[in-house]
């Protein structure tokens, strides 16, 4: 087993090696010195999404949304609240479907808001529609629980 966990910085997208014995919640980026976890989802474009999916050893939960979507705007504060509970076990990302339509299509998103949980670069769970923070947390933890 590796003695390091790879965590992508939500601020500068640098990949960091966090020692296994160090609490990830208090880790800082070696490049920009910002906290690796700040209880906020990271807004990403297509390149940032790819970097987080490929570079993180932790699961990635992405909210595919659009600014014109009323339900997406309703769910935004709930997704933000879920970040405080799910980090540092999960990296939360916000992907604007209008700015990254190719990524949304590759992920098979047919309606928004859409939540996709990825582990090891593969989608392991998906859900469409508005969910409150407690349901986002429970759904994510349930999908990551060993079978």
Enumerate the active-site residues.
69, 72
- Spatial separation of the C-alpha atoms in residues 111 and 109, rounded to whole Å: 6
Alpha-carbon span 57 to 5, nearest angstrom: 6
CB 20 within 8 A of CB 5: yes
Closest CA to 131 of 58, 87, 89, 80: 80
**Cβ atoms 6, 57 nearer than 8 A:** yes
């Amino acid at each position: 087993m590796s003695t390091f966990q790879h965590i992508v910085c939500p601020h500068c997208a640098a990949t960091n090696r966090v020692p296994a014995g160090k609490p990830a919640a208090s880790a800082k980026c070696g490049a920009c010195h910002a906290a690796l976890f700040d209880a906020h989802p990271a807004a990403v474009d297509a390149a940032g999404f790819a970097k987080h999916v490929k570079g993180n050893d932790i699961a990635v939960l992405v909210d595919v949304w659009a600014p014109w979507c009323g339900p997406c705007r309703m769910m935004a504060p709930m997704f933000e609240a879920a970040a405080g509970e799910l980090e540092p076990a999960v990296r939360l990302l916000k992907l604007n479907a209008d700015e990254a339509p190719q990524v949304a299509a590759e992920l098979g998103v047919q309606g928004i808001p859409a939540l996709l949980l990825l582990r090891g670069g593969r989608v392991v769970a998906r859900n469409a529609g508005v969910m409150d923070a407690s349901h986002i947390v429970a759904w994510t933890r349930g999908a990551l629980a060993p079978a």
